[in-house]
């Protein structure tokens, strides 16, 4: 009798083990992800095992005015936003790699679009007080940068046409980057200066640093300001944007990287499409 009971218990235990194995196989894509790590990544919103969120020492580009180097561009492109983390991180200990004494002429160097029509190279502005723009002269933007999609979902604004060199600090600058006193509007509908940016990154975070530049200009300081949309590989939507600035007197100096993320949404950076994911949280 005892032998039969033990045999029956062993059969039940074996059945339970088989059922658990089958269930785990379904969760882990029929055994193709035996550790279940991909399932856990999808659940938590963390799609990279080695999440890092900072760039320490940086080198300046091989240009007379310095700025973001190719090597540091690649490092930024490989950064992954950590769900629940801050929306931006410091680069080079928050010190610009721009050369402050390279300010010579009031102008903007707009880089050409790359082979995928992306604004993947730095735009660099040499600014002064007269570049603070009148906001009332803004017009509706119609350029559709790579990765652009319909702007709202359930009343929530998801995408912005993000300016690299902000409209608010580009008064008088034409699309060739030269100053023209007859043009009091800031930069508008310039394909070389726009990228698909999350509404959160643009309106909540980037404006903080643009305000620092405006404040310095209103104090009659000369400022070199550089903005670079950061793309990974051939993706059409930027992973983030590097903003850095330095005034010629050194009182303004920052270097940061903004993640191109939106609370409650998950982006496919290959094509820019967004889907609702309430687990995505961003700390301002």
Q: Residue 278 forms beta bridges with which residues?
A: none
Q: What is the pLDDT confidence band of residue 137, given thresholds at 50, 70 and 90?
A: confident
Label residue 277 exposed, middle or buried (CB < 10 Å: 0-12, 13-18, 19+).
middle
pLDDT value of residue 14: 52
CA distance 104 to 128: 11
Of 13 and 269, the one with more pLDDT: 269
pLDDT value of residue 53: 62
Q: Residue 109 pLDDT > 50, yes or no?
A: yes
pLDDT value of residue 55: 86
- DSSP H or E run through 140: none
pLDDT value of residue 136: 82
pLDDT value of residue 32: 40
Q: pLDDT tens digit string along 147-175?
A: 999 877 677 899 999 999 999 999 999 99
Average pLDDT of the residues in 45-57: 56
Asked if residue 180 lies in contact with residue 195, where contact means CB atoms within 8 angstroms, the answer is no
- Taking residue 117's Cβ as centre, other Cβ atoms within 10 Å add up to 11
Nearest by Cα to 83 from 270, 264, 268, 276 = 264
Of 249 and 55, the one with more pLDDT: 249
Marked catalytic residue, from 50, 93, 163, 278: 163
pLDDT value of residue 35: 37
Record the pTM: 0.81
Q: pLDDT tens digit string along 217-258?
A: 999 999 999 999 999 999 999 999 999 999 999 999 999 999
Query: What does the radius of gyration of the chain's CA atoms come to, in whole angstroms?
Result: 24
pLDDT value of residue 16: 43
93 given a catalytic annotation: no
CA distance 267 to 236: 11
């Amino acid at each position: 009798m005892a032998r039969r009971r033990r045999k029956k218990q062993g059969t039940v235990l074996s059945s339970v083990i088989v059922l658990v194995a089958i269930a785990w196989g379904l969760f882990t894509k029929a055994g193709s992800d035996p550790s279940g790590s991909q399932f856990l990544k999808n659940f938590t919103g963390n799609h990279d095992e080695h999440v890092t969120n900072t760039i320490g020492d940086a080198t300046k580009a091989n240009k007379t005015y310095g700025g973001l180097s190719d090597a540091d561009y690649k490092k930024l492109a490989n950064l992954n936003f950590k769900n629940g983390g801050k929306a931006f991180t410091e680069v080079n200990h928050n010190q610009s790699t721009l050369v402050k004494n390279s300010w010579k002429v009031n102008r903007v160097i707009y880089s050409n679009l790359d082979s995928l029509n992306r604004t993947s190279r730095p735009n660099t502005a040499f600014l002064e007080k007269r570049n603070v723009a009148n906001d009332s002269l803004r017009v509706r933007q119609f350029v559709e940068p790579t990765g652009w999609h319909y702007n709202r979902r359930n009343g929530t604004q998801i995408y912005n046409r993000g300016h690299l060199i902000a409209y608010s600090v580009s008064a008088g600058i034409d699309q060739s980057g030269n100053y023209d006193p007859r043009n009091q509007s800031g930069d508008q509908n310039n394909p070389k200066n726009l990228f698909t940016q999350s509404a959160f990154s643009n309106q909540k975070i980037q404006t903080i640093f643009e305000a620092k530049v405006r404040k310095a200009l209103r104090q009659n300081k000369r400022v070199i300001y550089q903005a670079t949309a950061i793309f990974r590989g051939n993706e059409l939507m930027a992973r983030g944007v590097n903003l850095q600035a330095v005034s010629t007197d050194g009182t303004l100096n920052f270097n940061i990287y903004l993640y191109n993320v939106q609370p409650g949404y998950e982006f496919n950076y290959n094509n820019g499409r967004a889907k609702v994911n309430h687990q995505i949280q961003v700390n301002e």
